[in-house]
Amino acid sequence: MKPAAFDYLAPSTLAEAVALLARYEREGTDVKIIAGGQSLMPMLAMRVARPELLIDLRRIPGLDALHEEAGQIVIGAMVSKRCAEDSALIRDRQPLFHAATQLVAHLQIRNRGSVGGSFAHADPASEYPAVALVLDMEMKAVGSAGERVIPAADFFVTYMTTSLAPTEILTEVRMPVMPAGTGWAIKEISRRRGDLALAGVAVTLRLGGGVCRETRMAAFGVNPTAVRLTAGEDALNGQPPDPAVFARAAAAAANALHEPMSCIHASSEYRRHLVKTLAERCLAQAVERAGRSAA
Partner 1 sequence: MSTTQRIRVTVNGEAHEREVEPRLTLSEFLRHELRLGGTHVGCEHGICGACNVMIDGRVARSCLTLAVQVDGAQVTTVEGLRDRETGALHPIQQAFIDAHGLQCGFCTPGFLMSTLELLRDNPAPSDDQIRHALGGNLCRCTGYQSILAAVRLAAARLQPH
Nearest distance, CB of residue 35 and ligand FAD, angstroms:
3
| CA dist 168 → 18, 81, 141, 157 (Å) | 7, 22, 6, 15
Q: Is residue 257 helix, strand or coil?
A: coil
Q: Which amino acid is at 104?
A: V
Report if residue 178 touches ligand FAD, rule: CB under 6 A: no
Specify which residues 66 forms β-bridges with. Answer: 75
Nearest to 69 by CA among 182, 174, 179, 178: 174
Rounded least distance, CB 112 to ligand FAD, Å: 6
CB 169 within 8 Å of CB 141? yes
Out of 164, 252, 274, 275, the residue judged to bind ligand FAD by CB under 6 A: 164
Say which entry of ligand FAD, partner 1, none residue 2 contacts (CB below 5 to 8 A, set by partner kind).
Answer: partner 1
Binding of ligand FAD by 169 (CB under 6 A): yes
Residue 6: C-alpha distances to residues 30, 52, 167, 169, 284 (Å): 10, 5, 18, 20, 50
With CB under 8 A as the contact rule, the residue among 14, 16, 19, 37 that binds partner 1 is 37
Under the criterion CB under 6 A, does residue 225 sit at the interface with ligand FAD?
no
Site for ligand FAD in 54-83 (CB under 6 A): 57, 77
Closest CB to partner 1 among 7 and 68?
7
Nearer to ligand FAD, 40 or 83 (CB): 40
200: contact with ligand FAD by CB under 6 A: no
The nearest distance, CB 192 to ligand FAD, in angstroms, is: 10
- 8 binds partner 1 per the rule CB under 8 A: yes
Closer by beta carbon to ligand FAD, 113 or else 241: 113
- Helix 268-294 to helix 243-255 angle, to the nearest 10 degrees? 140
Q: Alpha-carbon torsion 32, 35, 39, 44, what sign?
A: positive
**Host H or E run for residue 54:** strand 53-56
Contact present, 290 and 183 (Cβ < 8 Å): yes
Q: Which of 87, 94, 126, 167 binds ligand FAD (CB under 6 A)?
A: 126
How far is Cα 143 from Cα 14, in angstroms, rounded to an integer? 9
Nearer to ligand FAD, 32 or 213 (CB): 32
Binding mask 100-119 for ligand FAD (x = CB under 6 A): ----xx---x---xx-xxx-
Give the number of residues written for the chain: 295
Rounded CA separation 212/136 (Å): 19
| Distance of alpha carbon 101 from alpha carbon 84, whole angstroms | 7
Please count the residues of this chain forming the interface with partner 1, following the rule CB under 8 A: 32
Q: Please state the φ and ψ torsions of residue 263, each to the nearest 5 degrees.
A: -150, 180
Q: Which residues bind partner 1 (CB under 8 A)?
A: 1-8, 10, 34, 37-38, 41-42, 44-46, 54, 56, 58, 80, 82, 105-109, 111-112, 192-194
The binding site for ligand FAD (CB under 6 A) comprises 32-40, 42, 57, 77, 104-105, 109, 113-114, 116-118, 120-121, 123, 126-128, 164, 169-170, 194, 196
